[in-house]
Structure 1
Amino acid sequence: MTDLSLFELRPPPLQFGGAASTSDPKSGLDSAGPFDLRFGAARKDAIHVGVIGPADMVDSAQKWLTRCDAGIPSFGPATSLRRPFPGFSEVYRKKLIYSAHLSIALTEANSDPIELALSVTDAFVRFQNIIDLYDVALQRLAGRDVNRPDVVLVCLPQSVLDKCRTVERQNTEAERERAKAIRKARASRQTDFFDLLDEVEESEDDFLKRDLRHALKARALAARLPIQIVTPRLLEDGPKSEDPATRAWNFSVGLYYKAGGVPWRLSPPGPETCFVGISFHHYRTKQRHIVQSSLAQAFSSEGEGFAIRGTGVPAEADQRLNVHLSEDQAYDLGMRIIAEYGARTGRSPLRLVIHKTSQFDQAEIRGFRAALGDIPIVSLVTMVPSAFRLVRFGMYPPKVGTICTVNGARTFVYTSGYIPEIETYPGPHIPQPFEVRSIGPEDPLAAATDIFNLTRMNWNTADIRGKWPVTLSFARRVGGILNEYGEMDPDETSFRYFV
């Protein structure tokens, strides 16, 4: 006989600048302002916004900023899902400062370097020309002693998106043979010409696939200047765009965070906790295919986020999704987590929770336990998308935050489903729960609660419909940015450079 136990978590209460506590970011920001209002005199009173792009998009972006500052009404009656945007200064209690002095137009009356860059036939060369064009402008803004922006809007016209969003090619037969020879030489531990080739640092031309957003973010990371990608869908009203007020809410939260602000945070969950998400991403060049481990995200209880890259794991032919760290790699990654956390907070956490979408094997468990031995509470949590389903009486699926245990042995949590705050289920399909498996002193219910709470900690949007916890939601993007950055670890690890 199957024994089912159901439990519904309350929506996680978020903290804002005032006394209000609500699970809806829009409502909290509107009524109580951003959390960092509590910082008092340590908080800046303005955000300086730079703009890079074609002259017409620079002008449109500045008009959009003016529109956001003035406030934008909702289309039709205001609802929980479509809420009017009161205005940037009204919501965040900061001024937006932007002008021609903070902007660089890439097109002029008699010259259009973007059109020239796009006219190149070779897709990889065309891609690199666009990256270099924007990078030069970004370096000019980053190198200023005065009028240096806090965040930069990088405006990409539709022509650039159409021709350079991604580029990809296959290895030639000669390159495949050379890569095969390198793998054989490494396997036999022979030191020969092919091994020497493998030690040469790859250039951009060596990548088999590149992504425009990742490449631009990597250049911004090197310049230590956060950027926000702007496309025509943000600036233009039309059938392909969300309503203006919704766009303004989501845009403003991302802009505020990237400029150094703290929009909201979770209510203190108990012991000071570091939440970590570990993922693996592919690193492919002409000569190598490595599944590179990346510490995609780590967050303190206060919401401070940072990203760290782990060591590489060579890809095997039959590896598929079953990727694991060695004991030494897990130990090294655990030590780096604690070191970075301590450098940012001045202390070690009392509790550390690691999220992964694959099972922890024995080598990983030993490595993490050895590195994190001084942390009082350590939980290793696996989240697996499941075929398990619950059917709720009525027209809606289970509420977000619903937890189901089966025979006291298996635990499932719904992070998508009916959302009480917006009084509907916004998804097109039957929601899929995660199965939660936990190794450590805490039970799966505590692990499921953390997962649900962390779905509300995406500071790149005001939308509460996120399915993944923030520890894992940007994993692929972070890995792609670090690939483009190069083999050296970046000097800056703050998460606002990666979102």
Structure 2
Amino acid sequence: MTKLTLLELRSPPLQFGGAAHTSDPKAGLEAAGPFDIRFGSARKETINLGVIGPPALADDARRWIDRVSAGIPVLSASTALRRPFPPFETVFRKSLIHTDFMTVALEGEADPIELALAHADPFDRFQAVVDLYGEALDRLSRRDVNRPDLVLLCLPDAVVEKCRTVERNSTEDERERAKAIRKSKASRQGDFFDVLDEIEEGADDLLKRDLRQALKARALAARLPIQLVTSRLLYDSVKGEDPATRAWNFSVGIYYKAGGIPWRLTPPGPDTCFVGVTFHHFHTRQRHVVQSSLAQAFSSEGEGFAIRGTGVPVTPGQRLNVHLSEEQAFDLGARILSEYLLRTGRSPLRLVIHKTSHFDDAEVRGFGSALADVPIVSLVTLVPSAVRLIRFSQYPPKVGTVFSLNGSRTYLYTSGFIPEIDTYPGPHIPQPFEVRSLGPEDSMISATDVFNLTRMNWNTADVRGKWPVTLSFARRVGGILNEYGDQDPEETSFRYFV
């Protein structure tokens, strides 16, 4: 006989600038302002926005900024899901500043956008567009005066359509070179990563490139955060989101990228470092490696940072079964503690690592050795499950529903009926995660952490979020670091990656 135990967690308690405590980011921001109001005089009163793009689109972007600054009503009845957007300064207690001095218009006797798009080779066309925007971004980043806090990169529809991604296959010579590397690995296992280190590759060696990732990498090199702007944001359409919702999501994103902290979790206990580890493919003309990416979110300060782990060579039949060696897990754990200490001046009392694959024995040993001085260490795996609960209602189970089977397997719903908006906004039956935990803490504590971290995405004001911020952010890191190159960036703040 199967024993079912069920519990509904309360919605994650978020802290804002004032006394309000709510799990709805929009309601909290409107009532109490962003969390960093508490920083007092250390907080800037303005956000200086740069704009790069063709003249007409740049003008439309600046008009959109004016709309956001003035506030935008909803076009129909207001609901918890579709809330009017008040003036930006009313919500965030900062004003948006944009001037001609912080605008770079991409223009000339010949249209530079058209010249870039005129390249017949897709990779040449892609690189020409990246260079065009990257050089304009470099000009703004080198300024001592009128240097923006954030830059809006305005992309015409033609650029998005023709350059969103480019991909090609390896040539015969490149496949032979890759085969030689694999042979070297087979005969000299210990020297394999030395062989990889000898290969100097750049962005043009990647077999697949993504425009967003390439532009984010250029922004990372310039140490100037960016927000990509397309027609979907700037222009009202019956097929798109309503303008007030776009304004909410846009505003939260630029506020964070410009250095602000919109909200944070109520600290649940000891100073905790939450970590997400994912794997991404690094596939070039010469090699195919799976590298680990890490994104971290503090429970107390709220900042996030990105770290790239070492590579795992791809082997036949490997598929999704990628794991770190004991040495790689140790190295990654040591780097987590080093970065945390650098940013906070102290070591965490509790450290939680999230993955979507199980922790094998080598990873457990490696992380255990590196994190031996941390009092509490939990290794948590999230696995999408085929198990479902059926609720006697028109809606599926509430988000935050935790259930266990026979006391041995724990499941969590992070999507489902959302009390804050009084509906389930999804198109299909939601899928729970199975939560597996290694360490001194039980799965209920781990499930509560995961649920709380689904509300920590500072790239949107949307109350919906299936994945915890640790894993959703980590997935954004890999492709950007691929484009950045083999060297680790000077900036690790996640403001540059979202």
Matching residue of 2:53: 53
Instruction: Assess if the C-alpha contact under 8 Å between 1:168 and 1:210 holds in 2.
Output: yes
Q: Distance in 2 between matches of 1:198 and 1:306?
A: 25
Q: 1:191 to 1:440 in 2, by over 3 A?
A: closer
Q: Is the 8 A contact 2:203 2:482 kept in 1?
A: no
Separation in structure 1 between the aligned mates of residue 32 and residue 216 of structure 2, nearest angstrom: 32
CA distance in 1, matches of 2:455, 2:286: 41
Question: Residue 488 of structure 1 aligns to which amino acid in structure 2?
Answer: Q
- 1:487 maps to what in 2? 486
1:440 maps to 2:439: yes
CA distance in 2, matches of 1:152, 1:262: 18
More displaced, 262-271 or 301-310?
301-310
Q: Tell me the residue number matched to 1:91.
A: 91
Report the CA distance shift for 1:34/1:198 in structure 2 as closer, same or farther (over 3 A): closer
CA-to-aligned-CA distance 1:398-440 (integer Å, 9 cap, x gap): 0000000000000000000000000100000100000000000
Q: Report what 1:130 is aligned to.
A: 129
2:177 maps to amino acid:
R
In the superposition, relative to structure 1, how do residues 52 and 334 fare at CA in structure 2: closer, same or farther (>3 Å)?
Answer: same
* Contact 2:181–2:195 (Cα < 8 Å) also in 1: no
Q: CA deviation at 1:278?
A: 0.4
1:11-160 matches, within 5 Å, as 11-108=11-108, 110-160=109-159
Query: Could you tell me whether the CA contact under 8 Å between 2:202 and 2:483 is conserved in 1?
Result: no
Residue 179 of structure 1 is matched in structure 2 by 178
The 5 Å alignment of 1:297-446 reads: 297-446=296-445
Deviations 1:116-147 (A, max 9, x none): 01010000000000000001000000000000
Q: In 1, Cα distance between the equivalents of 2:199 and 2:9?
A: 52
Indicate conservation of the 8 Å contact 1:299/1:306, yes or no. no
Q: Is the 8 A contact 1:298 1:307 kept in 2?
A: no
- Distance in 1 separating the partners of 2:483 and 2:107: 26
Following superposition, the deviation at residue 303 of structure 1 comes to 1.1
Q: In structure 1, give the amino acid aligned to 2:258.
A: A
Instruction: Give 2:187's aligned residue.
Output: 188
Q: 1:431 to 1:115 in 2, by over 3 A?
A: same
Instruction: Work out the number of aligned pairs and report it.
Output: 496
CA distance in 2, matches of 1:273, 1:197: 35
Paired residues of 1:51 and 1:58 also in contact (CA < 8 A): yes
Letter in 2 for 1:40: G
Give the letter aligned to residue 151 of structure 1: L
Cα offset for 1:293? Answer: 1.1
Distance 1:299 1:32 in 2: 22
TM-score normalized by the length of structure 2:
0.98
SS of equivalent to 2:381: strand
In structure 1, runs of 5+ residues without a counterpart are none
RMSD of the TM alignment (CA)? 1.4
1:235-265 CA-to-partner distances (Å, cap 9, x unmatched) read: 0001232000000000000000000000000
- 1:175 CA drift (Å): 1.9
Distance in 2 (CA, whole Å) between partners of 1:191 and 1:312 is 14
**Following the alignment from structure 1 to structure 2, what is the Cα–Cα distance between the partners of residues 260 and 221?**
14
Cα drift, residue 191 of structure 1: 12
Q: Tell me the SS of whatever aligns to 1:310.
A: strand
Structure 1 residues 436-471: Cα deviation after superposition (integer angstroms, max 9, x where no partner): 000001000000000000000000000011100000
What is the distance in 2 between the residues matched to 1:80 and 1:136?
42
* AA of the residue aligned to 2:418: I
Q: Output the CA distance in 1 between the equivalents of 2:385 and 2:442.
A: 19
CA–CA distance in structure 1, aligned partners of residues 403 and 449 of structure 2: 15
Q: SS at 2:397's partner residue?
A: coil
Q: Within 1, Cα distance between the matches of 2:474 and 2:275?
A: 11
Match of 1:497 in 2: 496
The one-letter code sitting in structure 2 at the alignment partner of 1:73 is P
Whether the 8 Å contact between 1:327 and 1:366 is mirrored in structure 2 is: yes
Q: CA deviation at 1:476?
A: 2.6
Q: What's the % identity of the aligned pairs?
A: 73
Contact 2:295/2:304, CA 8 A, preserved across alignment: no
Q: CA deviation at 1:198?
A: 7.3
Query: Which has the larger displacement, 356-365 or 172-181?
Result: 172-181
Q: Give yes or no for contact 1:11–1:401 (8 Å, CA) kept in 2.
A: yes
Shift of 1:299: 3.0
User: Separation in 1 of the partners of 2:283 and 2:398?
Assistant: 41
Partner SS state of residue 104, structure 1? strand
**Counterparts of 2:331 and 2:180, CA distance in 1:** 30
Tell me the distance in 1 between the aligned counterparts of 2:184 and 2:497: 36
- State how 1:233-272 maps to structure 2 within 5 Å: 233-272=232-271
The superposition leaves residues 345-390 of structure 1 with CA deviations (integer Å, 9 ceiling, x where unpaired) of 0100110000000000011001111111111100000000000100
**Displacement after TM superposition at 1:184 (Å):** 1.0
Residue 474 of structure 1 aligns to a residue whose secondary structure is helix
Q: What are the superposed Cα offsets for residues 54-87 of structure 1, whole Å, 9 maximum, x if unpaired?
A: 1111100000000000000011111000000001
Q: Is the 8 A contact 1:185 1:191 kept in 2?
A: no
Supply the distance in 2 between the matched residues of 1:190 and 1:65 (Cα, whole angstroms): 55
Give the Cα separation in 1 of the matches to 2:190 and 2:372. 39
Structure 2 contact 384–434 (Cα < 8 Å) conserved: yes
Cα distance in 1 for residues equivalent to 2:247 and 2:298: 26
The one-letter code sitting in structure 1 at the alignment partner of 2:11 is P
Instruction: For 1:197 and 1:448, locate their aligned partners in 2 and report how far apart those are by CA, in whole Å.
Output: 39
Residues 44/361 of structure 1: CA separation in 2 closer, same or farther (3 Å cut): same
Residues of 2 paired with 1:296 and 1:127: CA distance? 28
Alpha carbons of structure 1 residues 191 and 248: separation in structure 2 relative to 1, 3 Å: closer
Shift of 1:183: 1.1
After superposition, the C-alpha distances for 1:13-70 in whole angstroms (9 at most, x for unaligned) are: 1100000000000000001000001111111000000000111111000000000000
- Kindly provide the amino acid, as one letter, of the partner of residue 389 in structure 1: R
**TM-score, structure 1 as length reference:** 0.98
Residue 197 of structure 1 deviates from its aligned partner by: 8.9
Distance 1:364 1:190, change over 3 A: closer
2-structure distance, mates of 1:241, 1:89: 25
Counterpart Cα distance in 2 of 1:228 and 1:264: 20
The answer to whether the 8 A contact 2:280-2:478 is kept is yes
User: 2-side partners of 1:399 and 1:435: how far apart?
Assistant: 16
**Conserved? CA contact 1:418–1:424, under 8 Å:** yes
